[in-house]
Structure 1
Amino acid sequence: MRERLLLLVESNTTGTGRLFARRAAELGVVPVLLCADPGRYPYAAEDRLRSVVVDTSDEAALWTAVRALEDEATIAGVLTSSEYYVPTAAALAYRLGLPGPAAEAVRACRDKAEQRRMLVGAGVGSPDFAVVSEVADALAAARGIGLPVVVKPVQGSGSLGVRLCADLDEVAEHAGTLLAATVNERGIASPGRILVEEYLTGPEFSVEVFGTDAVVTVAKHVGALPSFVEIGHDVPAALPGEQEIALRESAVRAVRALGLGWGAAHVELRLTGPRTAEVIEVNPRLAGGMIPELVRRACGIDLVRAQVLAALGTAPELERSGYARASIRFLTAEQDGILARSASLAEAVARARTVPGTVEAVLYRAPGEPVGPAEDFRGRVGHAIAVADRSVRAAEAADRAVALLGEAVSYADLHTEEAFA
């Protein structure tokens, strides 16, 4: 019998990228990572994941690689866990006659300027905005919208390049930096446009949507401004019923307005009134930040498995089978510092894992590695996950565990010998 393959077009470097491959294997399908550089994904070597090196930005080269795989096995599905490659994976699935989202819909959704226009056109609550390609236009937009404003790329992920600008000097500086970039962190060409948006206040949440069903609402914790680094999540969010309804209804309306409705969508919103939710953005993919793992532990719903099943043409399993509460807190550095020796790192992780309710505590960096304040997700140093029967208990346990992880970071002068002892 020919092997059945699940093609993974690139990946995120941690978290759900590894889980996609593992769930495929559990379902009896061979995961194959199509990527330009397998070295970006340490888990690929650790898990002995089959990889095919190909320029994933070159449609012809990608198709040639896929046709070669077809000669030896049956391609059963195509997915990606990377925001940047959702349109590529969708187009490839369509070309192969396999399940997936509408390629044009996800391509439009990936362009946050086009997404914003579509949401406004459909009457979905969202911030005032302007799309600009010159610093002078960014300044004019900021004046018109009213300071402070959020300035961010029209394409991106993980809060990369997203910044709150309090005055016109900050707008000019950050807009100039973004517009000067010719490629993003993945080496993909930048479009030469940015967004200037109204700054919405109020607590932030996400709604994890699958198809057109709101699965769960997640409370978000964001770090110190002017960056928007997510430093924690609580699942499910503890909310009054009317607020829960407002968030879920707005998220589903946004998904429908964008022509989505296949597989997972991660919708970020703010509550701007007692019963008013406005959409920050819609991501046509599973959430990052370990949210799928929190949902699995709290609700018994495996969103990664559901996404893999959908790609294989099988009905996903979305029935809730758990009623716990789960929280994650990310470790970020308060200032420039350095991680301790190996023994001290191991001790910090061991202590964090002793906190009642803690089910996971990890550090991402090596002993002696410098760390600094996070400006986006790449600045996270580690995380702790806790599960309990009440939201407050899960949150307190995660807070305590990540504080113990933080003892592995030394804020001594990096130029002194003590910092490297």
Structure 2
Amino acid sequence: MSTPLLLFVESNTTGTGRQFAQRARALGAEPVLLSADPGRYPYAAQDELRTVIVDTADDDALWTAVQHLAATARIAGVLSSSEYYVATAAALAARLALPGPCADAVRACRDKSVQRRTLAEAGVPVPWFSVAGEVAEAVAAAQWRAAPVVVKPVQGSGSLGVRLCRDAGEVAAHARTLLDATVNERGLSTPAQILVEQYLTGPEFSVEVFGEHAVVSVAKHVGAPPVFVEMGHDVPAVLPAPEAAALVDSAVHAVKALGLGWGAAHVELRLDGGVARVIEVNPRLAGGMIPELVRRALGVDLVGAQVRAGLGLPVDLTDTSGAAGAASIRFLTATADAVLSDTDAAEAAALAVPGVVDAALYRPPGTRVAPAEDFRGRLGHVIAVAADPAQSAEAADTARALGLATALEHTPIRQAMPA
């Protein structure tokens, strides 16, 4: 009997994409990557992953490719580790009568305007918001509620296009930029709508949900406005019991209200006084290497659980073997224009900090870098583990500072002046 296939519709470019394929192989399935451009994912060639080149934005072409695969082997599941293709994967799984979330629910969830309305109608605490299809509508919404406000696309990932706007001029400029864009960074068409929403200043968290079960709450470190770059995470979040309960209650309520409840969901929230307001629900595993932190801190393999669910296998979230107790990640970002210098020495300096178990720079020496505007501006990461979150956070902070001090030459980058 041939090896069953687990199909992956595209992948995320960093983080767990490689791990999805590794877990599939460990479970006896052959991972197959369906992609318009497999070269976007270096791990695919490095790990000799079977790939099928197909226009993943064309449903008919994708279905034809899947039928060709089904003619030679049993397809056991369809997943995606990419925010942009989770709905496509869910629809394919349903068409093949395979396990997966409700495709309509995933599709609706990915549109933040639809998601917000659904949550508000269900009584889930959310920021106030307004949907705008024109610049004038965005400005009017900001003026009605009084800026500052957050302006962002109704679809997206990795904080792309999310910006704090402090007055009508900033709202108009950013709204125009977003509304003028017809495709996203993946080349997929984007809706001609944006969100104008309340700027919450309370601490930010995520709750990692699997099915309808809250696995863990995560403390998030977000960079300075006007952008919202995620700079690090601590697992688990340490909170007073009432606030911890409020986060879980809002997150699980949101997942149920949206009709999800299959597999992983990444729910982002901010505490507003004692209220846990849902910023957004992502119908997928968390990014930012949060699943790796959960594995190291709690012993719970969320990537493995998602792969098992996709293959129709039982999922056990109670195995805590090898748990350290806490884990933290910090991303390395430039604070000014600079040049990467000795990346090997930077990694070595970070790894020398007690408790640090992983350190990586993503770009080669000589690369010019600038302050991050979104996740694409991250230069690397460090991960630390310890018995409690305060210890892991301290180790990660120390390693981040050492890595940056070693890796960056903060020489101003100026264009040559004309003679």
TM-score range, shorter chain: over 0.9
Residues 182-239 of structure 1 deviation map (CA, whole Å, 9 limit, x = unaligned):
1000000111100000111210000000000000000000001100000000000011
Q: Report Cα offsets for 1:293-349 as digits up to 9, x if no partner.
A: 000000000000000000011121200513511000000110111111xxx211111
Asked if 1:292 is matched to 2:291, the reply is yes
Structure 1, unmatched stretches of 5+, are none
Is 2:19 the counterpart of 1:13?
no
Q: Partner letter of residue 335 of structure 2?
A: E
SS for the counterpart of 2:170 is helix
Equivalent residue letter for 2:96:
L
Partner of residue 385, structure 2: 387
CA distance, structure 1, for counterparts of residue 394 and residue 119 of structure 2 = 37
Contact persistence 2:324–2:386 (CA under 8 A): no
Partner of 2:340: 339
The aligned residue for residue 125 of structure 2 is 125
Q: Which residue of 2 aligns with 1:264?
A: 264
Distance of 2:89 and 2:412 partners within structure 1: 46
Count the aligned residue pairs. Answer: 413
Question: How far off is 1:68 after superposition?
Answer: 0.6
The letter for the 1-side match of 2:378 is R
Q: Deviations over 1:364-410 (max 9, x none)?
A: 11111111111110000000000001211100100111112212111
User: Which residue is 2:278 aligned to?
Assistant: 279
1: CA distance between counterparts of 2:100 and 2:403?
40
TM-score by length of 1: 0.97
Structure 2 unpaired stretches of 5+ = none
Q: Which amino acid aligns with 1:370?
A: R
Alignment partners' CA distance in 1, 2:389 and 2:55: 45
**Amino acid of the structure 2 residue aligned with 1:339:** L
Is the 1:359–1:386 contact (alpha carbons within 8 Å) kept by the matching residues of 2?
yes
Residues 296-311 of structure 1 correspond to what in structure 2 (within 5 A)?
296-311=295-310
Equivalent position of 2:330 in the other structure: 329
SS at match of 1:254: helix
Distance in 1, Cα, partners of 2:394 & 2:273 = 27
2:372 to 371, 374, 394: 374
2 CA distance for matches of 1:247 and 1:226?
A: 25
Query: Does the residue aligned with 2:177 lie in a helix, a strand or coil?
Result: helix
The C-alpha deviation readout for 1:132-175, integer Å capped at 9, x for no partner, is 11100100010122211000000000000000001111001000
Match of 2:55, SS state, is coil
TM-score, length-scaled by structure 2? 0.97
SS for the counterpart of 1:350 is helix
| In structure 2, C-alpha distance between the alignment counterparts of 1:9 and 1:204, rounded to whole Å | 30
SS for the counterpart of 1:18 is helix
User: Match of 2:411, as an amino acid?
Assistant: A
**Residue pair 2:359, 2:382 contacting (<8 A) in 1 also:** yes
The whole-number CA distance in structure 1 between the counterparts of 2:389 and 2:218 is 12
Q: Which residue of 2 aligns with 1:50?
A: 50
